[in-house]
C-alpha cells in the first residue's frame, strides 16, 4: 500500500532514506540531516516537501519525496520528485513504480500535472523503470562550481 508518510514512520523512513543517501555516496549524514528532513516532511507546508511510503504489513519498503515549485513557463508550476528509493530486498515488485504513480496522482490533484526528476546517467536500474513511466528529455544539469 502506498500512503502518506506519517509521524510513526520515523525509524523505518530513516532506514530507507539512509540507503538512498548512500546510493549517492553520502554514507555519513549527521543525525540532524534526517531530523530536519523528517520535520519538513511532517510540516504539511504546501510549498515544501511531501512524502509517500510503500507500507507492506507495517514494513516500509520504499519512499518518495516531492515538492511543487514555480516555473516561469507554467502558471501552475511544476512538481519535482527529488528522492525515490526502494529497499534492496523489495526490488522488482513494482514498489518504485507505485510510488511514482502516487506522485502523479497527487500532482494531478494539486493541478500541477508536470512532474519531473533528475537521475544519474548511469543509474541503469532506475532508468529501466523511468523509460517505462516517463520520457528521457535531452536536458542535462549544470551546477555552479563550489
Q: Which residues of the chain form contacts with a copy of itself (CB under 8 A)?
A: 33, 36-37, 40-41, 47-49, 65, 67, 69-73, 75, 80, 82-83, 104, 107, 113-122, 124-125, 127-128, 130-131, 133-146
The residue among 6 and 131 lying less far from a copy of itself, judged by its C-beta, is 131
Coil/strand/helix, residue 14? helix
Give the shortest CB-36-to-a copy of itself separation in angstroms: 6
Closest CA to 38 of 50, 26, 47, 46: 50
Angle at 36 between CA 118 and CA 60, to 5 degrees: 70
Q: Cell 532508468 sits at which residue?
A: 127
Smallest separation, CB 58 to a copy of itself (Å): 25
The residues pairing with 80 across neighbouring beta strands, listed in sequence order, are: 67, 116
Min dist. Cβ of residue 71 to a copy of itself (A): 7
As a whole number of angstroms, the distance between CA 46 and CA 58 comes to 27
We find the least distance from the C-beta atom of residue 57 to a copy of itself, in angstroms, to be: 27
Instruction: For the beta carbon of residue 96, count every other beta carbon within 10 angstroms.
Output: 23
Nearest residue (CB) to a copy of itself, 56 versus 114: 114
Pick between residue 57 and residue 121 the one whose CB is nearest to a copy of itself.
Answer: 121
User: Which one, 59 or 119, has the nearer CB to a copy of itself?
Assistant: 119
CB of 122 to a copy of itself, least distance (A): 7
Among 95, 40, 90, 88, smallest CA distance to 65 is for: 40
Amino acid at each position: 500500500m502506498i500512503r502518506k508518510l506519517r509521524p510513526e514512520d520515523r525509524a523505518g523512513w530513516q532506514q530507507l532514506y539512509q540507503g538512498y543517501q548512500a546510493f549517492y555516496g553520502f554514507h555519513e549524514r549527521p543525525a540532524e540531516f534526517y531530523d530536519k528532513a523528517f520535520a519538513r516532511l511532517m510540516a504539511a507546508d504546501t510549498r515544501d516537501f511531501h512524502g509517500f511510503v510503500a507500507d507492506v504489513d507495517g514494513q516500509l519498503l520504499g519512499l518518495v519525496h516531492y515538492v511543487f515549485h514555480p516555473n516561469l513557463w507554467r502558471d501552475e508550476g511544476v512538481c519535482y520528485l527529488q528522492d525515490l528509493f526502494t529497499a534492496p530486498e523489495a526490488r522488482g515488485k513494482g514498489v518504485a513504480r507505485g510510488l511514482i504513480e502516487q506522485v502523479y496522482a497527487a500532482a494531478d490533484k494539486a493541478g500541477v500535472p508536470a512532474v519531473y526528476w533528475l537521475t544519474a546517467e548511469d543509474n541503469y536500474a532506475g532508468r529501466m523503470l523511468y523509460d517505462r513511466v516517463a520520457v528521457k528529455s535531452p536536458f542535462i544539469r549544470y551546477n555552479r562550481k563550489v
